[in-house]
């Protein structure tokens, strides 16, 4: 009898936790949502339509501390980026101080022009900046080579380039105190059955790059992929398996 009561108590606590977490999710409109992760950390999810993929979501991150925020990746375009930033500023009372860009595709920096119009610092890997110059895209204001670590409102943030994968320039962002890794499009969601868009991929390096991340950050608890559901370190292993499967299929 005692065991049954304990099990019911645990189930009740888990359901309450899930319900509380769900209540903290914010639906700005049908195309933009904020998904609660922990404390004042949210994934920002932006939905887009394409002929090839249909309606699909892309993930970014909002890290809030003491009324200030770091944004990782923008929505696809300036219009959606304005909607997101207006909501953060006007409805949540948050001042965006920095944007970190994961790689040079639109699902990372499509709204960079708007961010720059507001005078917000934009941080990117030097390889990303080189691609922006090559393609005539807006140029991020702050560059780094292999890594950039800084303190933000008492929290350490580490941007690091581990190597090629989804693109030649993709980086990760690590929040040590939260054990949260923003992997972006370098990391595939657990439901992914392919590597997705390979138009700029460096498949031969991809698994090696992800293995470096596992070695560097053994304590990862939460992983945010570029698209699809948030998970844990199993997403890194899943990505490696997809790369190895792709290499076997195409003889890479």
pLDDT digits (tens, 9 = 90+) for 66-100: 999 999 999 999 999 999 999 999 999 999 999 99
Instruction: Please report the pLDDT score of residue 40 as a whole number.
Output: 87
Asked if 205 contacts 166 with a C-beta cutoff of 8 angstroms, the reply is no
Spatial separation of the C-alpha atoms in residues 72 and 117, rounded to whole Å? 17
Instruction: Please report the pLDDT score of residue 4 as a whole number.
Output: 44
Q: Beta strand pairing status for 155-160 and 147-152?
A: antiparallel
Structure tokens given for 76? 């696809």
Domain 27-250 has CATH 3.60.15.10: yes
Instruction: Please report the pLDDT score of residue 117 as a whole number.
Output: 98
Q: Name residues of the chain where pLDDT drops below 50.
A: 1-20, 252
Q: How many residues does the chain have?
A: 252
Q: Which parts of the chain are beta strand (E)?
A: 26-29, 32-38, 41-50, 54-65, 68-72, 95-100, 121-125, 142-144, 147-152, 155-160, 172-175, 180-184, 222-225
């Amino acid at each position: 009898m005692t065991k049954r009561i304990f099990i019911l108590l645990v189930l009740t606590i888990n359901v309450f936790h899930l319900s509380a977490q769900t209540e903290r999710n914010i639906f700005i409109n049908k195309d933009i949502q904020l998904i609660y992760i922990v404390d004042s950390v949210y994934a920002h999810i932006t939905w887009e339509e394409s002929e090839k993929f249909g309606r699909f979501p892309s993930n970014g991150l909002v890290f809030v501390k003491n009324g200030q925020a770091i944004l990782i990746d923008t929505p696809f375009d300036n219009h959606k980026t304005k909607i997101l930033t207006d909501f953060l500023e006007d409805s949540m009372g948050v001042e965006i101080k920095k944007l970190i860009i994961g790689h040079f595709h639109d699902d990372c920096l499509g709204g960079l022009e708007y961010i720059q119009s507001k005078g917000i610092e934009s941080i990117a890997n030097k390889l990303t900046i080189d691609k922006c110059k090559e393609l005539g895209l807006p140029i991020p204001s702050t560059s780094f080579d292999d890594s950039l670590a800084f303190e933000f409102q008492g929290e350490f943030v580490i941007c690091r380039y581990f190597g090629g994968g989804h693109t030649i320039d993709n980086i990760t962002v690590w929040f040590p105190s939260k054990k949260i890794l923003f992997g972006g499009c370098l990391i595939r969601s657990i439901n992914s059955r392919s590597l997705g868009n390979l138009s700029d991929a460096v498949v031969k390096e991809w698994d090696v790059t992800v293995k470096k991340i596992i070695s560097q950050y053994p304590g990862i608890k939460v992983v945010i992929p570029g698209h699809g559901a948030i998970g844990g370190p199993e997403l890194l292993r899943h990505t490696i398996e997809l790369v190895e499967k792709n290499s076997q299929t195409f003889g890479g």
